[in-house]
Amino acid sequence: MVNNNMYYVVGRQSCPYCVKAKDLLHEKSLNYKFRDLEDNTELLMEFANKFSWPTVPMVFKFDESGSPTFLGGYTDLVSHLNKNTNA
């Protein structure tokens, strides 16, 4: 379950940038959930098509009201966190 004011990372455990995204969120003590779609290519393709994003990770930020915002991939997460020091 995704809580308010947290990050949601969709990816594959075998993906180095997915692991880097998880490690970065953990290092910054930010609340996150990782959804490993290594064995669910169909659902991964649904995410990719819905957000027009062909690669993993796909990172989302849920605000206080529980509404998600799609941030992008790992480098987008880094940029987001650098801009929002109180992320």
48-66 pLDDT tens trace: 999 999 999 999 999 888 8
Which pLDDT value is given to residue 87? Answer: 46
Q: What superfamily would CATH give domain 1-60?
A: Glutaredoxin (3.40.30.10)
| Residue 18, CA distances (Å) to 10, 56, 67, 81 in order | 8, 7, 22, 16
Region for residue 70 given its phi and psi (left: phi exceeds 0; alpha: psi -120 to 50; beta: otherwise)? beta
β-strand partners of 62: 6, 68
Residue-wise pLDDT for 2-26, tens only, equals 666 799 999 999 999 999 999 999 9
AA letter at 53: W
pLDDT interval class at 46 (50, 70, 90): very high
Comparing CA positions, the residue from 6, 10, 15, 1 lying closest to residue 47 is 10
* pTM of the full structure: 0.88
